[in-house]
Structure formats: structure tokens, C-alpha cells
Amino acid sequence: DVSHQIISSHFIGPQAENLSYFKRNIHTILEELRLARNNYFPEDGKFIDENVQQSPAFQKSMKKLSNAVQKTSNLLGRTSIPFWSPRYEAHMCTDMSMAALLGYFMTMLYNPNNVALEASPISTVAEIEVGEQLCELFGYNTDLNVDAPVGWGHVTCDGTVANLESIWVARNLKYYPLSLREAMEEGKPLEFLSGRFQVETCVGKRKLFSELTHWELLNLKAHEILDIPDRLYHEHGISNDYLSAVMEEFTVQSTGKEALERKYTDGKPAQYLLSNTRHYSWPKGAAVAGIGSDNVVGIPADHGARIDIDALEKRLEENLANEQPVLAVVAIMGSTEEGAVDSLSSVLALRKQFQARGLSFLVHADAAWGGYFCTMLPKDYRPGDVINLPTEMGTSDGFVPDATLRAETQEELYALRFADSITVDPHKSGYIPYPAGGLCYRDGRMRYLVTWTSPYLSRGSVTSIGTFGIEGSKPGAAAMSVWLSNKTVGLGPSGYGSLLAEVTWTCTRFSAEWAAMTDATSPFICVPFNELPSERDPDSTPEKVEAEKIRIRRDVLRKTNAEIVQEDQSRPEDQKTLKLLRQLGSDLNINAFSLNFRYSDGRLNDDVEEANYLMQRVIEALSVDSPEDDPTKIPLYLTSTEFSDKLYGECKKHFMKRLGLIDSTQDLMVLRNVVMSPFPTEGNFIHKLANILRDTIVRKRNELSDDFHSFLIQGTEQIYLIHLPMFHVANHRQQLVVMVDFDNVERKSKDKYIAMRNSNPSEPMILVTQHKCLLPDVAQKHVSFTGQIMTKESGIILKNIKVTVTDTVVSRPLNSRWRLKDYPTRFMPFYLYGNANEAHIDHVIVRAPNTQLSASNCKLDIDAKVPWEKPLVLLLEDVYEATMQPFPPNKEIGSKNGGIISESPHESTFRVSVWLDGNREHDNVEHACFRLGKKVGDGRLTLRETVYVDSEAMNFDPFKKVEKINEWRYEFDQIGRELEE
């Protein structure tokens, strides 16, 4: 397999197989460094002679440095994440190309700063060439002699800064016509143009610029705006220098956007529209640019995590109808969580349609992850072409086939040439070391919108590249690293395209593993986010899906690469395994999947919190999330993300349904593996990695099991037990208040309890079951069990109490499906029970995390008679729970008698209202605070000494790893101390 042999030459190798070649090149670089220094005015002579080098002080210093280098490099080797290994399948990190590493290293030795040509002559040229390389890759014109916009690009530190720069450009472009109108007002420098200068509106009509409506000014097409300076020069003789000087007073750069918006947008700020799956850099960039994160409008994602084009069109209709300007629509070309590619071609088509109706905006492509996948497209590719990659076989152990992208993905990547600007991250799918992002403009004149040295819009080349964009100083080594790797590996199908084609094949094999890992008899299920072909079929049935999984197990999981290709040669076209494989997984080499489990009786868990807990334990085992973790002992690396209702909506709901989970407002955890290494499929290594995941999937809390249960005791006239719940243990996930009686015949347990309670009114007393049991077994009416009473100060104070449940006051599950999305914002709810002499309250637990807040023997004064025989809810009207959550640890809470909700160290009084519970028979806790029944009355509640507060036990996770002392920091300190001696 010649292709794989060439790809193998690009990397040091998972086992440092090519390190000797790397060392030779390092030696060459250092030798050239020696020659460069020796050849620069050699007549100056040596400044560090042999006598200095042989001196004790010099030798001691060098020994310290050598020791530090050895120890630090050893520490890095032992504690760094093994991105170079095929076992690392987590984030967008992998082995870097040797060309990129060598390019960075050789340039770093000279430390050029690409902020100015005088500080970086050759690396500035490298950055200019990188910009041209990327523009050509995306299909932008780079020929100055062609009558078309000339593309331009440059290197940024990352995609976040590239996205921010694109926001800056979009803002300045949108407001440039407004600034120009200001400069044409009566008495202003360009007033003389008001009756002479014409432009073409968004809908194709020519009008005097001074007569454009505010809406027309806000919706001029990009090229019309960019042409203005040149047109003013050619048609009216206004030089760029004069225009620049005049406009400095009026541009949004100087005035800020608020004044312009007040006058021209009727208080409706311009907005960005993009999929909810967007990278966090978009709201962050909008905040920095002064646009405001609220004006980054999220568009729902479809079931494949791509932008919902119908929803986008609906939103654009709203903006048009309300005359609210749109700065840009962003198409995500490879979401960083799912590898999904938005339909850029559809976005571009929508822009054309809306421009005809008066709404214009830029189209930006966030191809931070997907940009380099354009190398997989042949130079002469056109939408509709069928790409058949060669699959010639070498030896079975070394053969890695190439895989094409889906036809739809190819067509969307081709459409990049029509986007106004593109973000790309060479340090992602370009296999370049950090920091190396990039931004390309279809029309290079856009860069003049974000420079402080020549803020005019005109054509022309410029040698210094550092005047454009956000960054000041930046390493020339990054530009050289990208340039050398692009040149060495090659930005075409036989270079990066071949590498990414092999990686795409590897990704499909991982997809097959996750899709067919489990069946109906497995103790857990593994469900890929991207549906199988049989699931996408309109006539899909569980039987068809299972049949497809059986086929994957038979024809893929147990086969080598060579066997798959060889067996395909005798199959009809529609039955080829290669065709099936290409339909698996995401658009661009990220596999997202989730896990769920079956109980011992075969039932599938339906609680998202339980599924999340299982996946959290898996990720803890297969990632470094604690200083005590040893990166060299983790056999497979995966990562995770979360799907929230806010960002994923119907997409999340559909995925949960496929997992067998009941819809919930709680986030869904999703596991991810980003595939970047071309090596794991050799020898079917992927199957070995998949088995590591299988062996890691264990459950520690999900099954209901017998356990000891603790109850807070309240009251003396009537005794109540308040179950002390735990969110993270299934058998303790219940809010329960029951009325009980203690035996008072032989042992006089009730009398003893009452006596101790009266003599210790402020000390909480806890009743604990003396034998392990299931909570439902001891919480039913007329059921009896044996318990013992404990206190924090004295331990066990009364044993062998026969406890009989006489009635249930409250019994509500605390599973995630019954919890609320938000904490109450205008009150704090409590269950109220007892009688006029002994009023008790227990905090209504609406969501996690939470706190046990209970009080007994409260004084209640309200303006109505309290129907104690009915289910009651009490609201603390002046205590706003949402503002207090999450509660601090117990040691920070303060006073034990209510200091958590009052500064008073003794009795605390609150304004309250009392209500009938909305529907205590319903498990949904919303009935106890937001869907209340009839109001009983208003009044005051005074807490006395018997208050119980615990913010830790309820949220304690008995299976979570406890972090230990950071040994890495200790080793750093040791090395540092040696250097300081």
C-alpha cells in the first residue's frame, strides 16, 4: 500500500519508529544554526571562549541546566497525554507531522515576530504563502490578473481569534455605509457627494446614496460596500488618504456602534445567526466585539446536529419582517462535538433569495475542523462527481484503504469557495503544533476593515502582514510550521487528502464498533449519535436495525482491512461492505455515542441521570481528570460532551428516545472519539480498543439494593421521620416524610425518646435502620422495622426501637425526570405538617444539587385556620432559593438554627404563605411549588432551635474518585529548587 507507506513517513510514529530520521533533520537544523552564527561577521571573534566554558561556575550552571532538562523531559514523558498513540481517540489532538515540528523548531531558534517585516522577513513571506495556499485550497481566486475578487488569508493563533476577527469585519462592514452617510450630512466633509454618488441597492436598483433608507443602507451587498473607496477615487477623484482621514471621525471603530444603532436600526441591534451546535468562541467573540452574546442567535439543529435550514429560513423571515439587520449567517463545517457539516450551499441559496427581497448579510464558514478535508476533493471536482479512490492491496498487516467523504459533505466543502470568509485551524486537521489557526477572505479587501494603519478599502499587495487582524506579536515559527507541512505533505488528494482518507476509513471502522458492540442480551447498550442506514430508512423496524448490526459484526468487526476489500470484489454493488461503511458515522471523523444499561431483570434504564452516571464513570477511567491519574496507564482515551435542551432541543430528545430514556430537562452526556490517527486499523487494532471500552463499562450505583437508611426525627406529640435522601444512590433517591409510632410497652422507647428530645431541643436526632433494606419496604403504612437513634455528639443513644409507620405525609421520587429545570426564583418551598402546637417543615427538593433544610416545633401565625389534616405547602416569601443555590459546604453555612437563611443567631422569623399542595399524588414536584392548590393564608413563621441543615450528604457521590496530592506539582517544585540553588 504505497499511499500508507508515504503517510507513515510523515510522523515520528506511535513507537518512535521514525525518530532516527527526525534526529537527522534536527542535526541539520542545528548545524545550519551554527553556520548562520559563525558566518555573521566572523571577524568579531568569539565572545564566549574556552576558558569561560571550562570555568567551575560555567560548568556548574551547565550541569544544573542538563539535570533540569533531563528531569523535566522525563516528567513530560511520564505525565503528558499520549496524543501520538492510536490509543488516544479523544480530542482533536494527535501526532504532528515531522515537517510541522521541524518547521516550528528551526524557526523558533531565530524567534521571528510576524508583527512586522523588519522582525520577520522570511517567516512573513511564509505566512503570506500560507494565506495563498489556504485560499487556493478553498477555491478562492489568488490571481491578481483575473477580474474577480482576490482572496487573502493569514495565520492566527487559533480559530477563536479567527472567528473574532471575522465578527469584527462583519460589524465594520455593516456599519461602514452608515458612517459614510454621516460624513455626507449637511456641513460634513463629504456633503458635496450627497447629490452625485449612486450605489446599487440589495434588490438591484440604483439610487443616490444620500436617498437610501436606513434599511437599504444596512443591507448593501458586501462587494458594493467594498467598491465604494475605489469608486469615489475613479468617479469623484477622492484619494484614499483623504477618505481615510475623513472617515476616521465617523467609523464605528471611533464612535462605537451605539450611536449608529440608535439612529439607523431603531434600537434593533444587528445579529449573527448560526446553529446551536456552534463553538463557544462565537458568543465570546460577540461579547468582545460589543455585539453582545444575546445577539448571537442560535438556530435549532436537526437530528444529525446540522443547522435546520427551515428554522434558519423562518428566523430570516422574522428579521426581514421586523427590519432587524443580520451581520452574518455562519455555517459550521465540522462541528467540534459531532463532526457535522452544515449545508453551506443552502445558506448561500437563502442569502440570494433574501437579497432579492432586501435582506443582505455575510456568510462565514467555520471550518476550523473541516477546512483541511478540502484536500480530499480533486482539483477538478464539481458537485455531482463520483470520487472512486484506489483500494490496491499490499500486505494484509499494512493495508489501510482510503475512504471518500459522503457526496453531500463533498458538495458542502466545494461550496466554501462562495463563502465570504473561512476559519480554519491547521493545528487541528492539519497536524500542526499549536498555535496555528487561520482566516481567509474571499475578497481580500475585507482585511482593510480591521487594520489601524491603512483603514481604507482598496486593492493592492502589502508586504507586512502583522498590521491586519487582532493579534500583535505572534510567532513566525507557527507560519513556517504550517508552510513547510503544507508543502511537504501536500494540499491535494495525494497529500493531506490521502492521509485524511485513511483516517476517514479508520473513523468508519470505529463507527462500526460502536454501532454493533451490543445486542439484546448485553448488559448495556451503545448507541451512536449518527443513525445507521436502517434507522434512517422511512420503513425502519427494530428487526431491520438488528439485522444490519449482525451484518456489521459478520462483515466488518471480525475482518481485517484486506479481507473486507477482497470479499467485496465478489459482491453486487448495493451489497458491498465498503458502501455500508461509508454510510456510518459522522460527516467529518468524529464519533459521538452514548451508553445506557439494563437492570438484572433485563429492563432498560429510562433515567438520563443514571445513564449519565454510567458514562461519567467510563470517562473517569478513560481520561485524565485528576492529578493522581497516570496518563501512561490509561489504555484508551475518550472524551465527552453534553447535549442540553437549550442547545440541542429536538436533536437531544430524539437521541434520548433511541437510548430508551424518558425525556428530561437534564443534560445528556455524550461520549466522543475524534479520529485522527491513520494507524489503528492495521491488524484490526480498533477491535482491541473497542474491547477495552467494553471491559470498562461497569455499574456501581444504578441497581436498587438493600442498604441502611437514615431519618431525621421530628415531633413529640406525633413523631415524624424525614428520610435523608442521596441523589447519587438509587435506593436513597426519594423525598419521604412519614408519621410513625415507637413501641412503648416493653422498652418504653417512645418515652425515652421524648425525654431526650425535651432535654436536648437543638440537637438533631437521627433514626437509622438496624438492618439493610429497600426503602419502599419500610415506608409503607402499617409496616414495622427496627431502628436505633443516633446523635452527632453522642453516637447511638437508643437501640432496638420497633418503628411502625402509621401514615405517609410525602413520598416523591427524586429521579431526574421528576425534578424541575430551575430553582424557584421568588420563594423557597417547604412541606408543612404537624399541628397547631408542633408545626414542622421540610424543604421541597426541586432539583439537584440541593440541601436538607428541616425544622420542627416552628411557630406559625397566619390569617386563617390551618387545615392540618390536608397536604400543605409553605412558601418563604422573602427567601429566593435560586439566588442561594448551590448552597455552600456545611462548614460555611454558619448558624445551625437557620443562619443559612437569616443572619439572626437565635429565632428567625419569615414572611410566609400557606397553600394546599397542588397534587401530592403526582410524582412531579412542580405541583408542590408552581402548580399549587388553593391558598390558605399569609402570615409569619418563626424557626426555633430545632433546625437541621446539611448541604453535603444529599449530594455526596460514594463512587466518585477522591483526588490526592498533586505529585506533578511536587516534581516541578523539586526541579525548580535545584535550579535556584
Give the catalytic positions in this structure: 456
Question: Which amino acid, 296?
Answer: V
d(C-alpha 363, C-alpha 915), whole Å: 54
Identify the sign of the CA torsion 305, 306, 309, 312.
positive
d(C-alpha 723, C-alpha 93), whole Å: 48
Residues 6+ apart with CB under 8 A from 641: 337, 592, 669, 670, 672
Cβ contact 223:445 at 8 Å: no
Identify the sign of the CA torsion 843, 849, 852, 858.
negative
d(C-alpha 147, C-alpha 734), whole Å: 72
Length of the chain measured in residues = 981
The 3 state secondary structure assigned to 633-681 is: HCCCECEEEEECHHHHHHHHHHHHHHCCCCCCCCCEEEEEEECCCCCCC
Cβ contact 208:200 at 8 Å: no
Residues 6+ apart with CB under 8 A from 282: 163, 167, 272, 274, 296, 330, 366
3-state secondary structure of 976: helix
Residue 662's nearest CA partner among 616, 615, 608 is 608
CA angle, 785 as apex, 779 and 787 as ends, to 5°? 105
Calculate the alpha carbon distances from 280 to 181, 277, 283, 368, 404 in Å. Answer: 35, 9, 6, 13, 30
Cβ contact 203:255 at 8 Å: no
Residues 6+ apart with CB under 8 A from 593: 514, 526, 527, 528, 529, 670, 671, 672
Residues 6+ apart with CB under 8 A from 30: none
Residue 840 host element (H or E): strand 839-843
* Helices of type H across 717-822: 749-759, 775-778
Peptide bond into 867 cis (omega under 30): no
